[in-house]
């Protein structure tokens, strides 16, 4: 991770094909494009790889989450349960449609704690959104049971976990809807892009219309298309989709390299005492984009993270202090800071997160160090890195 580390001839060929054809928009211009449809080509490839009936590509992972929620009829005042550890896009997508992000604790999977999810359910809860952070998944069996019991939608945010699986099924394909990001630092990239997948035709039909101003996409005259409901512009371009067409073909190549590099590092760290690896739910297979482990306490984790940096070991993250990925630095959410007036439902229903008790999440995040697995490393570089990390962490 990420795919841009290995850009090559396949990506260049796909992009040049669009430029030679001359149509950069995914819709219309049928006579000009000579049957070149990169977004459709990418959607077909994603559907086959993710074992999903319907796929719609959009402009970003954030857009995918927003469109997925809207396609299922989620709107003002509806509550969406999400984890304390994720990227800000999770609550941004919820707020974008006037819904309410309900933060709950994570556990040693670094994803939603099922017991915390069930405790947070109210009569206004409509969706449970597990976020498969850093390449591994939530306990989806438990979450599916909870959703079935309470008649809730299960929306998988698999933006950081494409290629992982759970009980033999691709991540993203297990819930009612699944979302991926193809931004510049994801396992496969379009530069900017995203996709939602589902097996429910209604959600798909709503999604492709909502993401394109409400166009119904019936017929071949774009100006004559109807608009059954309000929509917005979350379209992907043909240039971005072209890069994705090349990268999705290389997904298994990238995953194999990530698994090799991950395994070398993990095997070396197995010998380090007082180090606990992240829990992967039974039946789960990571996409190996990050190696996550816990040290004995917050103080040791801080010292360990600094020691790794001092030793020249880059790409190791201490998310506990991160501005973008952990609730403690989300002042713009907790203080409800917005350029314009927020919806009444958000102002009235959003919990006071300044006083919320997320000590369970803090227990795990305060001890966690997360190491990005690059696919541009040679095997020799990974071996050297593994020995350095082992030495540094053993000396704590």
**What is the tens place of the pLDDT at every residue in 358-394?**
999 999 999 999 999 999 999 999 999 999 999 999 9
**What is the tens place of the pLDDT at every residue in 41-89?**
999 999 999 999 999 999 999 999 999 999 999 999 999 999 999 999 9
Q: Where are the domains of the chain?
A: 3-250, 252-394
Predicted local distance difference test score (pLDDT) of residue 1 = 81
**What is the tens place of the pLDDT at every residue in 317-327?**
999 999 999 99
Catalytic residue, candidates 38, 113, 126, 186 = 186
Predicted local distance difference test score (pLDDT) of residue 144 = 98
Q: Average pLDDT in the 322-348 region?
A: 97
Contact 39, 217 (CB under 8 A): no
Helix, strand, or coil here: 39? helix
**What is the tens place of the pLDDT at every residue in 96-144?**
999 999 999 999 999 999 999 999 999 999 999 999 999 999 999 999 9
Q: What whole-number distance in Å separates Cα of residue 172 and Cα of residue 301?
A: 31
Give the containing element (helix H, strand E) for 316.
Answer: strand 316-317
**What is the tens place of the pLDDT at every residue in 274-320?**
999 999 999 999 999 999 999 999 999 999 999 999 999 999 999 99
Q: Average pLDDT in the 149-170 region?
A: 98
Predicted local distance difference test score (pLDDT) of residue 2 = 85
Which top CATH class is 252-394? alpha beta
Predicted local distance difference test score (pLDDT) of residue 185 = 96
Helix, strand, or coil here: 130? coil
Is the confidence at residue 334, as pLDDT, over 90? yes
* Architecture per CATH, 3-250: 3-Layer(aba) Sandwich (3.40)
Please tell me the pTM assigned to this model: 0.97
Closest-CA residue to 294 (of 391, 367, 390):
367
**What is the tens place of the pLDDT at every residue in 208-219?**
999 999 999 999
**What is the tens place of the pLDDT at every residue in 187-210?**
999 999 999 999 999 999 999 999
Annotated active-site residue 148? The verdict is no
């Amino acid at each position: 991770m990420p795919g841009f580390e290995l850009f090559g001839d396949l990506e260049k060929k796909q992009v040049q094909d669009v430029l030679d054809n001359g149509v950069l928009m995914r819709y219309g211009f049928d006579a000009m494009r000579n049957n070149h449809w990169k977004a459709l080509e990418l959607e077909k490839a994603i559907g086959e790889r993710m074992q999903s009936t319907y796929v719609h590509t959009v402009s970003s992972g954030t857009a995918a989450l927003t469109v997925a929620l809207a396609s299922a009829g989620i709107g003002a005042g509806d509550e969406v349960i999400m984890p304390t550890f994720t990227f800000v896009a999770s609550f941004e997508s919820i707020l974008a449609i006037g819904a309410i992000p309900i933060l709950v604790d994570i556990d040693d999977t670094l994803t939603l704690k099922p017991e915390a999810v069930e405790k947070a359910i109210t009569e206004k809860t409509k969706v449970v959104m597990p976020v498969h952070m850093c390449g591994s998944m939530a306990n989806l069996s438990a979450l599916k049971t909870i959703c079935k019991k309470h008649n809730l939608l299960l929306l998988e945010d698999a933006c950081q976990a494409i290629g992982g699986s759970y009980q033999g099924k691709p991540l993203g394909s297990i819930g009612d809807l699944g979302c991926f990001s193809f931004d510049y630092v994801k396992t496969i990239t379009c530069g900017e892009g995203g996709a939602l997948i589902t097996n429910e035709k209604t959600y798909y039909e709503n999604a492709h219309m909502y993401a394109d101003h409400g166009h119904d996409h019936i017929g071949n005259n774009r100006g004559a298309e109807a608009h059954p409901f309000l929509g917005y512009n979350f379209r992907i371009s043909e240039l971005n989709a072209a890069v994705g067409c090349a990268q999705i073909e290389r997904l298994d190549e990238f995953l194999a390299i990530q698994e090799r590099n991950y395994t070398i590092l993990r095997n070396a760290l197995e010998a380090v005492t007082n180090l606990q690896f992240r829990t992967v739910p039974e039946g789960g297979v990571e996409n190996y984009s990050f190696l996550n482990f816990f040290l004995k306490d917050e103080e040791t984790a801080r010292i360990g993270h600094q020691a790794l940096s001092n030793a020249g070991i880059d790409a190791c993250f201490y998310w506990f202090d991160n501005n973008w990925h952990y609730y403690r630095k989300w002042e713009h959410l907790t203080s409800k800071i917005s350029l314009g007036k927020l919806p009444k439902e958000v102002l009235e229903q959003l919990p006071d997160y300044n006083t919320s008790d997320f000590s369970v999440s803090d227990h795990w995040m305060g001890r966690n160090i997360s190491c990005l697995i690059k696919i541009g490393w040679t095997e020799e570089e990974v071996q050297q890195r593994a020995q350095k990390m082992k030495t540094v962490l053993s000396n704590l």
